[in-house]
Each structure stands twice: as C-alpha cells, then as structure tokens.
C-alpha cells in the first residue's frame, strides 16, 4: 500500500496554517484553568474554535454541546463522503492549585490542531472525523461513562496525544485497570470499660480485613496492586466503633483479572466481618478504569511517524497508573502516544510541568504531535488493509483480555 510518509509535507503545511491559533488557545487555557467537570469556559472556547473550522453536529447543525449528559462534553463532526470514522479525543480539565500540571491545555489544543488540519486535507480521504471533548480526566474520567454510552462504538480508530517530559516520545501509553470501592463495616457500640462484651468492633473488622488482603498478596499475579486506607474508624476512644470504612483501590493488567481480584477482596472483607460479628457493605467510588488494549500495528505506525518527523522515540514503558482512555480501547482500536514537550525529565502534576507547556519547545512539540495524529488518521482512512489488520488485532486482544 501507499507509503503514508509521502504525505508528511502536506500534513506539516496543514498544521502550520492553524498552529499559531492553537498555541494561543493552549496558552489561554493555561491562564484560565478549570478543574474537572467545571470546564465551562474551556469547553466553550474549544467548541467555538471547531465551529469556525468546519465542524458540525452528527446530523448537521450545531456541534453537540453539552453531549451525552455531560455539561462540558461535546462532539463535533467533519463529514467528507462515505468511509471510515476516526475519533480525536480532547482533554481540557486542570488540577486544583497546580493548574495544567498534566498538560491538558497543550495536548488538548494539539487534538484541536490536528482536527483543523484534517479539514484542510479533505482531498486526501473519504470518511468522518469526530472530535469528542472528554471532561474530568483528572477526577473520575468521563471517558468511562461515555464509553459505556456508546460514544466510541463503530470507529476504526480513536486517538489522542498526551504530554510528557524527558525529551523522548513513546508510541502509546500502557495502563492498568482500576477499581475503587468503599468497604463499610457495621458493628455494635459499647463502652470500652463498662461493658465491652456488648460491642462488636467495626474498626477491628476493618483492621483484620486489611490484614487478610496483605496475607493474599503472596498469591497475587505480578500485575495486581491493592492499596487501602481507613477513612473512618470510630468517634471516641472509650466507645467500641459502630462503623468503620476503608477506601481501597486495586489495579490489574486486564478487566478479567480485575474481577478475580475483586472476588479476593470481597472474600477478605466478608471473612473479617464474620469473625468480628459485623456486617459489611460495598460501594464503588467511581466507574472502573479499564487497562489499555495495545495494538502492535498502530504502535508501529506511530513509531515510524515519530521517527520520520525527527522525534526521539522509545518503546512503551511499563504501566505506572491508569487512564480512562483504557475504557475507550475496549470499544474500538485506540491509542494515546506520549509527546515530549520538554527535554528535561519533569514530573506530571507539578507547577514545573504546567510552566513547561508555555515555552516554545512545547509549542513546537504541539505541531509535531498534531502532524503525527494527522498522518495516523490518513493512514487509517486511506488504507483498507491497515484497517482490517488493526480490527483483527483489536478483536483478538479484547477477547484475550476478557477471558
């Protein structure tokens, strides 16, 4: 099939047209950060930007905003004949106090830049570009619920780029599945001296629960992680606690393994409750984050594009956490490459990283990242053999992850 690298000059020129405006958007978002689920002005600015560059609603008319019941989510569509569909995800929420310490202002604007460049290249493809605004990534991840509601079904590819420090790009982000639950133990209060035998210690049950989880660790598979804290353990030292609560997060390498670990955790909780003659209840703190289904064909393509654009690129590092893009990856072929916006190793979720997004090095990286997404979209839209290979990998990998 056609070498997509032959189109890199066209992609660069299309990105260049909108780069200055995208930089201004990124710096504006950095100056006026909005936290998760309150990105009202940020989302409005992005929607207005997309409207002015050809994006409309699914059936024409205005961009869908709000979208799927999320006040600050949106979907803008660019239809260019019949053909495959590609989704570009946009993030734009900030962190409390730190501002855009995860770089959402930069890589959110990068997604918008890629979308506008694809509007300049309609002579090169047939199909649809959907730009989907995904709020609250820093909190409970709107992509989890949006995925459940079908926002990413039927796409040949869903993609975004994420900012990173260290001067080296990666073709994808690996991630673990995540479940967070609150485990409540209910006992019976009694005076600790006057009649302790009348009591049933909820705190005792909570402590033994954590002991039992620790005892299970030696039988965990290497991908399993479990961490918990006691958030409530009683109100007075002279009263046997009637209620105790543990907030626990556990992570695994697949959704199937997440269910197995969930079963272990619940057995530990029920065993502790039974031993201390207490009751136990379970409540999810937020929707599960899925692990990332990684597809070699897309990762190899991104690696080749990065190299062709002169970027340093490494392999994908082991997972260091979770992302709601993982939920998208269970619905359609998905990828989230990491674009280096600063050469110095700089930790995410810091003011140093937020400051780095404002520098010329980061603005240049935005252009390279947008070119990468544009070329990956063109490869997907133009190359039927590539799409079929990716789809086969996706179905096989998803089956293996859920078995």
What is the reported pLDDT for 2?
66
Helix, strand, or coil (residue 269): helix
Helix, strand, or coil (residue 346): coil
Classify residue 6 by its DSSP letter.
Answer: G
What is the reported pLDDT for 5?
80
What is the reported pLDDT for 48?
98
* Per-position pLDDT tens, the chain of length 403: 468 888 999 999 999 999 999 999 999 999 999 999 999 999 999 999 999 999 999 998 999 999 999 999 999 999 999 999 999 999 999 999 999 999 999 999 999 999 999 999 999 999 999 999 999 999 999 999 999 999 999 999 999 999 999 999 999 999 999 999 999 999 999 999 999 999 999 999 999 999 999 999 999 999 999 999 999 999 999 999 999 999 999 999 999 999 999 999 999 999 999 999 999 999 999 999 999 999 999 999 999 999 999 999 999 999 989 999 999 999 999 999 999 999 999 999 999 999 999 999 999 999 999 999 999 999 999 999 999 999 999 999 999 999 8
CA atoms of 149 and 168, how far apart (whole Å): 35
Instruction: Tokens for 2, please give them.
Output: 């056609």
CA atoms of 90 and 160, how far apart (whole Å): 7
**Residues sharing a CB contact under 8 Å with residue 261, sequence separation 6 or more, in sequence order:** 179, 220, 224, 226, 250, 252
What is the reported pLDDT for 209?
98
In this prediction the pTM is: 0.95
Contact by Cβ (8 Å): 49, 113? no
Report all structural domains of the chain as residue ranges with CATH numbers, in order of start: 4-175+289-402 (3.40.630.10), 177-284 (3.30.70.360)
Contact by Cβ (8 Å): 19, 366? yes
CA atoms of 385 and 297, how far apart (whole Å): 11
What is the reported pLDDT for 139?
92
Give residue 171's Cα distance to chain centre. Answer: 15
- Which stretches of 285-385 are assigned E, i.e. beta strand? 334-335, 338-342
């Amino acid at each position: 099939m056609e070498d997509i690298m032959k189109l890199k000059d066209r992609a660069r020129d299309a990105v260049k047209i909108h780069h200055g405006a995208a930089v201004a958007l990124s710096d504006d978002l950095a100056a006026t950060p909005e936290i998760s689920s309150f990105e009202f002005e940020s989302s409005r600015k992005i929607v207005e930007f997309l409207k002015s560059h050809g994006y409309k609603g699914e059936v024409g008319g205005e961009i869908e905003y709000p979208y799927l019941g999320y006040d600050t989510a949106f979907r803008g569509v660019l239809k260019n004949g019949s053909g495959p569909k590609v989704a570009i995800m946009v993030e734009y929420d900030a962190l409390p106090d730190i501002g855009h310490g995860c770089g959402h202002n930069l890589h959110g604007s990068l997604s918008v830049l890629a979308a506008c460049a694809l509007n300049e290249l309609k002579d090169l493809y047939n199909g649809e570009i959907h730009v989907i605004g995904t709020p609250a990534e820093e909190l409970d991840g709107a992509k989890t619920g949006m995925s459940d509601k079908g926002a990413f079904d039927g796409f040949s590819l869903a993609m975004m780029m994420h900012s990173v420090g260290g001067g080296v790009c990666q073709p994808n982000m690996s991630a673990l599945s995540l479940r967070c639950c609150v485990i409540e133990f209910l006992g019976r209060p009694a005076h600790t001296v006057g009649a302790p035998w009348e009591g049933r210690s909820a705190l005792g049950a909570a402590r033994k629960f954590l002991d039992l989880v620790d005892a299970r660790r030696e039988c965990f598979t290497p991908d399993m992680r479990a961490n918990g804290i006691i958030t409530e353990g009683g109100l007075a030292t002279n009263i046997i606690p009637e209620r105790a609560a543990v907030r626990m997060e556990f992570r695994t390498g697949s959704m199937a393994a997440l269910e197995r670990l969930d079963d272990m955790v619940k057995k530990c909780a029920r065993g502790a409750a039974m031993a201390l003659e207490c009751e136990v209840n379970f409540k999810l703190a937020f929707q599960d984050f899925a692990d990332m289904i990684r597809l070699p064909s897309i990762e190899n393509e991104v690696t080749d594009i990065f190299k062709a654009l002169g970027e340093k690129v490494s392999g994908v590092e082991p997972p260091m956490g979770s992302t709601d893009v993982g939920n998208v990856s269970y619905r359609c072929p998905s990828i989230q490459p990491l674009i280096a916006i600063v050469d110095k190793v700089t930790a995410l979720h810091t003011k140093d990283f937020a400051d780095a997004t404002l520098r010329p090095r980061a603005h240049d990286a935005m252009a390279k990242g947008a070119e990468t997404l544009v070329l990956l979209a063109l490869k997907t839209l133009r190359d039927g053999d590539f799409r079929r290979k990716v789809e086969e990998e996706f179905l096989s990998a998803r089956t293996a992850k859920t078995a």
